[in-house]
Each structure stands twice: as C-alpha cells, then as structure tokens.
Amino acid sequence: MNEESIINEWYGTNMWKYIIGPTSVYRDNYKICGRLDIIDLYRDKYDHIWYAVLEWKDPDGNVHREDISRGELFKRSNTKLLEKLASGGLVIANAPLTLEYLQQCDYRMMGNHGT
C-alpha cells in the first residue's frame, strides 16, 4: 500500500484536519511537511510550562528529537523553530500549516499514526 492510498483511506474517517502518513504530514491531501510526530507532552518540574517532544527523521534516516515549549509554538513569527526543524533535515513544504499542526498537538495526536 503506497502513501497516497493510505491518505485516501484515512481521509474519510480521520477526525483531525491533518493526516500523518508514513513519510509526510498532509492537510486536505497536500503535503505540509515530512513526518513529524509529537511523541510526548510534559510539564516542567514546577508544573508551569508545557513542552512537546517532537521526533522526525532526516533524509538519511537519522532520528531527531526536540523539546519545544508549547508557548514557543505561538510566537508571531516562529522562524527559529522552523529553522531548527529544517536544519535537522525535516522537509517543510508549507511553513504556516506546519506551525498550525504543531500548535494543535495534544495527547490524542501522540503515538503511531502511520507505518
């Protein structure tokens, strides 16, 4: 089964705006970025600041992980975060939608969404 057929299969039943395929994240059947998983959410030791743990693979297959504060995701122009992800090898096809995808992360989006 190729990625396109997986997208078509999930599109009708997926409750999210975003579809996480084996190698990419899509919205409305358009690729917004390479596969980018939110693998954990946690608070700091004072229970004040929430963080999202992001995971992706670069083109060579190396796994990258980055802890990002949830507040950092809502900065007006978040070029530093996008630069960090792109420097780690993540393909970003649509920067605003990639940020929107991350801003909407919650526990229900975590885990294995594809193959």
What is each CA distance from 1 to 16, 24, 28, in whole angstroms?
Answer: 22, 15, 20
Predicted pLDDT at 8: 44
Domain boundaries, the chain: 3-109
Question: Do 82 and 98 meet the contact criterion of CB atoms below 8 Å apart?
Answer: yes
Question: Do 26 and 91 meet the contact criterion of CB atoms below 8 Å apart?
Answer: no
pTM: 0.73
Predicted pLDDT at 9: 45
Q: pLDDT tens-digit profile of 104-114?
A: 766 545 544 43
3-state secondary structure of 80: helix
Q: What is d(CA 50, CA 32) in angstroms, rounded to the nearest whole number?
A: 25
Predicted pLDDT at 114: 38
Q: pLDDT tens-digit profile of 9-61?
A: 444 434 457 888 899 999 888 999 999 988 888 888 888 888 888 999 999 99
Q: pLDDT tens-digit profile of 75-113?
A: 766 788 899 999 999 999 999 889 888 887 665 455 444
